[in-house]
Amino acid sequence: MRLPPLIAVRFFEATARHASVRRAAQELHVTPGAVSQQVRKLEDFLGCALFERQPRGLALTAAGRDYQVACAEGLAMIGHATSRIASANRRQVVLVSCTPGFAVQWLVPRLQGFLQQHPDMDVHVGSTNRTVDLAAEGVHFAVRHGQGAYPGLQSEVLVADDLVPVCSPRLLAPRRTARVADITSARLLHDEHRGDWRLWCQAHGVADVDCEGGVVFAHSNAAIEAAVAGRGFALVRHALVQQELQARELVSVHCKPLATPLAYHLVYRPEALIDPGLRRFHAWIVAQGSNTG
């Protein structure tokens, strides 16, 4: 059996995934000319065209689509096998991307449990509001806040998106519960989701509140910290304040949480779970999500 040059296969897979020679070249740190040359070599080797050159870019032929699937799976298996063998005497690192608020309020407080169960593994958390390119940036898992449609990636609901207003108990009289009416005279604390207070007020029939007023924070964890400090009422994801509620650092307003069509989704490339270590992390974080009330 004659096998094609591995470098040509790599360059083809990147070009097919990006549908662009230029973006493939950027990922591979070579010139576009080098990518085009390797793709042509592969087409010559196979004796058929893998791409149709169109005015607006590249499109895979039927043969190209079939070959891309095989190449992606093959390269992933080679990569995972290489990592497994090369890291036999090294700690495995899981790279996770999520928003700063989710990292601080949900993921990091739970990580110690995973690390105790798997002392041969480390977890590196990259916190950003930017949507990372998992393949290009070498990220194994991302937690994304949205509706779950992420083309080319596996996606599963990790944590539901229930909104609850919270405040410090110091803002209330002793032993008094927080009521919806308290919000009408309170300072509102906003995170990056500026429209949430308006949605909540509409859902609960609260009309005499300035939903645009108050203090705005770039990240949800900053709004939560401000609420703990007694700076006002924050409208937050219930899953992100469970520790503060249990510790009575925050109390929730006595009302039904507002469910939204969004959620925190665990996102990863389909081939990620070939790796045993990544499967262990996946199983752990999914279980943590299931246990989030």
Q: pLDDT by residue (tens digit) across 82-110?
A: 877 776 667 789 999 999 889 999 999 99
Architecture of the domain spanning 6-86: Orthogonal Bundle (1.10)
**How high is the pLDDT of residue 175?**
67
**How high is the pLDDT of residue 288?**
95
Mean pLDDT of the chain: 89
Domain boundaries, the chain: 6-86, 91-293
- With a cut of 70, list the residues of the chain below it in pLDDT: 87-89, 175, 293
User: For the chain, give me the number of helices (H) and strands (E)?
Assistant: 12, 11
Q: Where are the alpha helices (DSSP H) in the chain?
A: 6-18, 21-28, 32-46, 62-86, 100-102, 108-117, 134-137, 180-183, 196-203, 220-228, 242-246, 276-290
Tokens representing residue 28 in the block: 């591979």
**How high is the pLDDT of residue 118?**
93
**CATH number of the domain at 91-293, out of 1.10.10.10, 3.40.190.290, 3.40.50.1220, 3.40.190.10?**
3.40.190.290
